[in-house]
Structure 1
Amino acid sequence: MATSSQKFIARNRAPRVQIEYDVELYGAEKKVQLPFVMGVLSDLSGKPTEPLPPVSDRKFLDFDVDNFDARMKAMKPRVSFAVPNTLTGEGNLMVDLTFESMDDFSPAAVARKVDGLKQLLEARQQLANLITYMDGKAGAEQLIAKVVKDEALLKSLASAQKPADDAAAQ
């Protein structure tokens, strides 16, 4: 997989914070640069399933663009909470999310992990596929309108099983 030039520059350019001081060594002045190192101590695990080790036993880890997803997967950040169920209007909906990469924070990835939202997302994707399939087909719009208006036909189509090749493709 080819890396972009922006990532190459980000990895190989000089740091933006440069700490220098002048030292006189045997009568000659010399500039010494100190590296800028920052340590962050934070609980980013949310509600872990396993208890975390004591702070004194934890090690500092290097994070960069290349290993960020692997570090996140190892940390297993997790959130668990209840939200009002606006889908059905009944009670609360329990949400339990574990993140393994930055992509898991996207709306579609979150929706795939919540049961009610997963079904809505799949329906949305099927409608998008239908629109793509219908594009340029004469009479398809009228056929869909006929199916939507006829409840008996709509129920029979909804209760019909998916073809085997369709289920394997998804």
Structure 2
Amino acid sequence: MKRSFYHFLFAWYLGFCLPVSHSVAMADSMIEYQVKAAFIYNFIAFTHWPDSTGQTINLCIYGEDYFGQEIDKLQNRSVNNRHIKVMRIADFDQLKVCQVIFFSKSVSGQLSRILNDLQNEPILTLADSQNAAAQGVAINMSLINEKIVFEINLAKVRASGLDISSKLLQLAVKVHQ
């Protein structure tokens, strides 16, 4: 009798407790990427592109998409008289149609090579991978103590022909010159 009771408790634990902890982890991840999507909108809003940039800002996700539908909420939103178009890009050769590229953690091993090929293009590059700003990404986000923080590689931003608002620079935890 005692043994079957413990089997019941163990089965109950597996059936109810583990999915809850998994759901909490998924919810934390969803909230993280919901906040990152809001940050991306603000990064776009506080960036000035050359006059040759059209009326549409192509926001491209390259690599595995951790945003889910959160990033789609930016679709057709307006920033400085330009509309945002969200695109998921799988082919490296299509990246030059983007004005903003978010590089997923899944492509962090290829980041230096990709950025080298996009050098001096008017593209705002974003990531959330360790050392991405040092590799040449314009803005890199990190989750520290349950807060999203970001660093800016100002030299790369300027080499791309873009300009970042001083207000955004003041909010960065680190600005690489």
Calculate the TM-score normalised by the size of structure 2: 0.22
User: Which structure has the highest strand share of the two?
Assistant: 2
Higher Rg of the two aligned structures: 1
Which structure is higher in RCO with an 8 Å CA cutoff and minimum separation 6?
Answer: 2
Calculate the TM-score normalised by the size of structure 1: 0.23
